[in-house]
Amino acid sequence: MLSQIVAKKKVRVAAASASLSLRELKIRLADAKPLRPFGESLEQPGMSLIGEVKKASPSKGNLGLSAAVEVLAKQYEKGGAHAISVLTEEDYFLGSVADLQAVRDAVGLPVLRKDFVLTEYQLYETCYLKADAVLLIARLLSRSQLQEYLCICRELKLGVLVEAHNSREVEFALLAGAKILGINNRDLATFKIDLGLTVSLAEMIPEDVILVSESGIETAAEVAMLKAAKVDAVLVGETLVRSHDAVAKIRELLAGEKDDQN
C-alpha cells in the first residue's frame, strides 16, 4: 500500500510543479509572513497534544467526519491541543491543501502539514500554503535527502516532525539532525499498531530532542504510560475524529497530566 501511495504522490507533485514551478514558489515566498513556532508549542512542561484533522485512512476507510475541518480544529484548540496536524494526501486520506488552509485560518495554533514528502518542492509548497511545520518520513528518504530537507526547513523557519518506525530509522533521523522525532506506532507497510513501540524506542532519544508518539492512542491511561516513558507529546487523530465531543476527549486524554501539575 505504501508504494501505491508514493506512486500517486509522485504524479500529483509533478502536476503541481508543472502548474507552479519551484522558481516561482521561491519568488512568492519572499513576502511570506512569520510562521507559528511548532517546536516551542511542544516544549512546555508536561505532555503536549497534537490533534489531527483526518477524513480517512487506507486501513479504516472513510472515518465519517461530518463537521467542517475548521470547526473540528476549533474544537481541538478549545480542548487544549497544542498544535494541529492536517492530512493533505488526496487519494488515500481524502485530504487537501484547502483543508490545511481552512484550518490555518481558523485557529491560532501551529499547523503541521502531514503528507508524503518526496521532493524539496513540497517543502517550499508547504510554506507557500502557510503551514507552520511539515512531516518528513524517514522511510521515504535517503540520509542525504533528509539532511538536505532539514537544512532547507531551517532556512525557511519551517518546523519539522521527522517520523520513524524502528531503531534503524530513529538512528538515521538523529544522525540527520532531527530535533522533533515522531515514533509512528502504526507500521506503514501492514498498518498494524503497537503502542509499545514508542516505549521500547524512547530510550534512544536524547533529552534535547522532542519525542512524539503517533497513532493508536485512545485513552488517558495510554497517555500516562507514554508520559512515564519520557514522551513529550502525542499525536491523536482517529480517536478525536470519531469522538462525539472532541473538546471533552482531549481534556480526558490530558486529565492525568493536569492532575500531576496541580
pLDDT band, residue 25 (cuts 50/70/90): very high
Min mean pLDDT across 49-53, 85-89, 137-141, 184-188 is at 184-188
Residue 259 has pLDDT above 50, yes or no: no
pLDDT digits (tens, 9 = 90+) for 162-200: 999 999 999 999 999 999 999 999 887 777 889 999 999
Instruction: Supply the CATH number for residue 74's domain.
Output: 3.20.20.70
pLDDT, average across residues 151-156: 95
Q: Distance (Å, rounded) from C-alpha 111 to C-alpha 37?
A: 9
pLDDT, average across residues 122-134: 96
Report the number of distinct structural domains present in the chain: 1
pLDDT digits (tens, 9 = 90+) for 42-82: 998 889 999 999 999 888 888 988 889 999 999 999 999 99
Placement of cell 476549533 in the chain: 74
Q: Distance (Å, rounded) from C-alpha 182 to C-alpha 99?
A: 23
Q: Could you tell me how many helices (H) and strands (E) the chain has, helices first?
A: 13, 10
- Residue numbers of the domain that contains 18: 2-261
Percent of the chain with pLDDT over 90: 84
The pLDDT value given to residue 1 = 82
pLDDT band, residue 33 (cuts 50/70/90): confident
How would you class 104 by CB atoms within 10 Å of its CB: exposed for 0-12, middle for 13-18, buried for 19 or more?
Answer: buried
Average pLDDT, the chain: 93
The pLDDT value given to residue 262 = 45
